[in-house]
Amino acid sequence: MRKRLSRTVFLAGAAVIAAGLPGTAHATPEATAGGAVTADEKGHYLFCTGRSGDRSIVVDLYENSLYGAVAGVVVEGPDGEYGGGATPSRLFDNGSVSVEVPVEAHGAGGGPAGTAVIQGTYAATGEPERVHEVTREPSWVVVARGTRQQLGSALTITVLDTTTPLSCESSFAFDLKVTRTPV
């Protein structure tokens, strides 16, 4: 589980990088010998699920000091699939989370379906765990060292005229020094 959680940080970070979010970087990576790039990355990640009647809900909240913040929502039910994403300037703020995500209907007859509002609180639980992980991306070898600490949370989502509590079991804060070396 530990490796899966830290890989999630890299996958979410890669998604932010791939999205090419201009102007969201808060720190500048430093280049090292051999084309490697090293940066301090701090942030939070919450992966949450919920159920409202026949609808299942998935919420992804990620914030990284280097790449910025991204929030995603997917709602599936007998009436179809809805989803959306947002890149707020700030997502996690001293123990509270608040974000609005525009939601669209997918499939035939798609289009705007309203706004999902995610709100609640989070707090560190337990002791920080040491992280040292090496992963391969298509053009990079990525080495991350630092700490990760589990988060407890109490969040709700209001979407499609219904408010639903969210369970966020895969949730953590991270403080990593990440080196990406080209391959």
Q: Summarize pLDDT for 72-84 with one digit per residue, the tens.
A: 999 999 989 999 9
Q: pLDDT tens-digit profile of 76-135? A: 999 899 999 999 999 999 999 999 999 999 977 789 999 999 999 999 998 999 999 999
pLDDT for 27 equals: 57
Domain ranges of the chain: 2-182
**Residue 118: how many CA atoms within 13 Å on its side-chain side?**
35
d(CA 179, CA 10): 12
- How much of the chain exceeds pLDDT 70, in percent? 83
d(CA 45, CA 47): 7
Residues 55/159/167/178 CA torsion (nearest 10 deg): 120
How do strand 96-105 and strand 140-159 relate by DSSP bridges? unpaired
pLDDT for 163 equals: 97
The DSSP result for 7-38, as a single string, is: HHHHHHHHHHHHHT-TT---S--EE-GGG-EE
pLDDT for 29 equals: 72
d(CA 59, CA 69): 14
